[in-house]
Structure 1
Amino acid sequence: MGYAVVLGEALVDLLDTECDGAPVYRQAIGGGPLNVAVGVARLGGAVQFVGSLGDDVLAGRIRDFLTAEQVGLTGAVTAAVPTTLAVATFSGAEPDFRFYGEPPSYALLGPDELDVALVEGADVLYCGSIVLLAPTTLATARRAWAAAPGLRVFDPNVRPRLLAGPQALAELREVVAEFAAGAHLVKLSAADAELLYPGEPVESVAVYLRELGAATVVVTLGAAGAVVAAAEADPVRVPAPKVDAVDATGGGDSVMAALVADLLTDGEPVGPSGWHERVGYALRVAGLVCERPGGAVAMPSRAEVRQRFGD
């Protein structure tokens, strides 16, 4: 089995909570792509994280955590800046993120610093999330995307707080179209779809992205499961298992992690029904993540998924 390269951000989440009746922030290592990388590793896949990290104690904790999770750091670089903080407040299970730190520690990997050989050796390349909003890391993602000989997977993972008005959203929409055109798999959330394509049904968004060139599109719908548009088949809704969600952080990332891990093991499914089965499994992974607090630390092993949901 080969390995996956996950290109994107790693940062520290500060999660709004309480201790002895007083408001406090619980520190958690995060970033959507980091969550994906950890999820792939816990599901048994070999994975390398590619991105920029700060030079402070928090960055050291990120490195130590990824190393302990057996996520490779060959393509990660250190920048002389503090680690970006994502402060998360909750209304229900869904977090609202605000980001602190200039320049962002995650947005400093330039195209000339990309380990192209690492990308060229990968069976699966993941690109996406908020690194697409910074010119430097967007250029790096484009270089990686062009160099990748294997399967390319993409997740826009839109963060509205980082979009400075309609022009920024329009530019992101163009970037999403560009990456979707060359993707074997696009995964996005219903919230992403609504922000990028307001008023469009999720099935229509999935078909549109497929028409741009994406081979398969998965739109996650939270507790309602996911829409899957695979091959030339009509979009199909795959239900999610019933779970007692306590924290949705990392739920969508875990869907992507499960799909990447299965792509590493078995390659692309032969037909739409194969995708439906894989997405069903990914939704069980996500259900288990949502029953646990935290993002990256909530990612399960295959044995834990079997124990919770059976085979």
Structure 2
Amino acid sequence: MGYAVVLGEALVDLLDAECAGEPVFRQAIGGGPLNVAVGVARLGGDARFVGSLGDDVLADRIREFLTAAGVDVSGTVTVPAPTALAVATFAGAEPDFRFYGEPPSYGQLTADALDVALVEGADVLYCGSIVLLCPATLAAARRAWRLATGVRVFDPNIRPRLLSGPDALDAVRHTTAEFAATAHLVKLSAADADVLYPGEPVERVAARLRELGAGTVVVTLGPRGALVAAGAEPVRVPAPTIRAVDATGAGDSVMAALVAGLLVDGPPTEPAGWTDRAAFALQVAGLACESSGGAVAMPTRAEVARRFPA
């Protein structure tokens, strides 16, 4: 089994919480790609995290957390910046993130600083999320994408709070189309789909991405499961019945399960194989949602098998 390179952001989440009746923020290591890397490692895959980290104590904690989770951090670089913060509040089903830190510590990996050998040797390359809004790291991701010899996986993971200016949405659409055109797998949420193409059904959004060149598209639908577009017709995959506590990182856990499956078994040879992979990924996400936190809630294969024995 080979390894996956996960290129993206790592930061610190401050999660809205309560202690002794008073509002507080609970500190947690976060970032969608970081969650993916940890999830892959928890599911038995070899994950290598690539990105930029700050030069403070919080960055040290991120490195220690990743290392303890079994994620290789040799592809990270240290930059002279405080660790970026994401403040998460909950007013509905999805957490609302606001980001602090300018320039962001996670967005300073340059194309020249990219570990070329690490990327070229990867069986799976993941790129995506909010680092692609940062010009330096977008250039690094583009270089990694060109160098990749394995399976290319993309997740736009759009955060509307970071889209400022009249051309920001068009830029995100352009970047999404650019990476999707040569991606073997694109995973996005229904919320991402609605930002990219407002009002369009997810089936049509998935079809658009496949028309651009994406091999397979998986759209997560929260408690309604996922849509898998891999063959002639898209397939809806139901989510398992769970006792949800915290949906933070649910979509990342789906991606982690899909990446781990690519490492263990390679790409499916038939569309039905993607449906089976998505069904397992939704079990992983369901179990993650039954615990608080993002990366810390990522389950192992044994835990998934115990929770969903059927």
Range into which the TM-score falls when normalised by the shorter chain: over 0.9
Q: Distance in 1 between matches of 2:92 and 2:194?
A: 19
Q: Which residue of 1 aligns with 2:284?
A: 285
Whether the 8 Å CA contact 1:12–1:84 is kept in 2: the answer is yes
Please state if 1:144 is matched with 2:144. Answer: yes
User: How many Å apart are 1:93 and its aligned residue?
Assistant: 4.0
**Counterpart AA for 1:145:** W
**Counterpart AA for 2:13:** D
Whether the 8 Å CA contact 1:93–1:245 is kept in 2: the answer is no
**Counterpart AA for 1:259:** L
Q: Which residue of 2 aligns with 1:239?
A: 238
Q: Which residue of 2 aligns with 1:125?
A: 125
Please state if 1:85 is matched with 2:92. Answer: no
CA RMSD of aligned residues (A): 0.7
1:75-100 deviations in whole A, cap 9, x for unaligned?
10001110000000001342100000
Q: Distance in 1 between matches of 2:131 and 2:218?
A: 21
Q: Which residue of 2 aligns with 1:171?
A: 171
Whether the 8 Å CA contact 1:93–1:246 is kept in 2: the answer is no
Q: Which residue of 2 aligns with 1:305?
A: 304
User: How many Å apart are 1:233 and its aligned residue?
Assistant: 1.9
Q: Which residue of 2 aligns with 1:110?
A: 110
Where does 1:32-71 land on structure 2 (aligned, <5 Å)? 32-71=32-71
User: How many Å apart are 1:66 and its aligned residue?
Assistant: 0.3
Q: Which residue of 1 aligns with 2:256?
A: 257
Q: Which residue of 2 aligns with 1:192?
A: 192
Match of 2:6, SS state, is strand
1:50-86 deviations in whole A, cap 9, x for unaligned?
0000011100100000000110011100011100000
1:231-274 deviations in whole A, cap 9, x for unaligned?
x3211100000111111100000000000000001110011110
Which stretches of structure 1, 4 residues or longer, exceed 3 Å deviation after superposition? Answer: none
1:176-197 deviations in whole A, cap 9, x for unaligned?
0000001000000000000010
Match of 2:283, SS state, is helix
**Counterpart AA for 1:288:** L
Match of 1:37, SS state, is helix
Q: Distance in 1 between matches of 2:232 and 2:43?
A: 29
Q: Distance in 2 between matches of 1:210 and 1:290?
A: 29
Q: Which moved more, 1:189-198 or 1:164-173?
A: 164-173
- Identity between Structure 1 and Structure 2 (%): 75
**Counterpart AA for 2:277:** R
Q: Distance in 2 between matches of 1:112 and 1:287?
A: 39
Whether the 8 Å CA contact 1:119–1:148 is kept in 2: the answer is yes
Cα gap change, 1:18/1:46 in structure 2, threshold over 3 Å: closer, same or farther?
Answer: same
Q: Distance in 2 between matches of 1:135 and 1:165?
A: 15
Match of 2:195, SS state, is helix
Match of 1:146, SS state, is helix
**Counterpart AA for 1:137:** T
Q: Which moved more, 1:54-63 or 1:84-93?
A: 84-93
**Counterpart AA for 2:260:** A
Query: How many pairs align?
Result: 310
Match of 1:50, SS state, is strand
Match of 2:214, SS state, is coil
Match of 2:223, SS state, is helix
Give the unaligned 5+ runs of structure 1: none
Whether the 8 Å CA contact 1:40–1:46 is kept in 2: the answer is yes
Give the TM-score taking structure 2 as reference length: 0.99
Whether the 8 Å CA contact 1:79–1:108 is kept in 2: the answer is yes
Q: Which residue of 2 aligns with 1:22?
A: 22
Q: Distance in 2 between matches of 1:88 and 1:59?
A: 19
**Counterpart AA for 1:69:** A
Q: Which moved more, 1:167-176 or 1:86-95?
A: 86-95
User: How many Å apart are 1:165 and its aligned residue?
Assistant: 3.5
Q: Distance in 1 between matches of 2:146 and 2:60?
A: 31
Q: Distance in 2 between matches of 1:118 and 1:248?
A: 32
Whether the 8 Å CA contact 1:255–1:279 is kept in 2: the answer is yes
Give the TM-score taking structure 1 as reference length: 0.99
Q: Distance in 2 between matches of 1:83 and 1:209?
A: 34
Match of 1:111, SS state, is coil
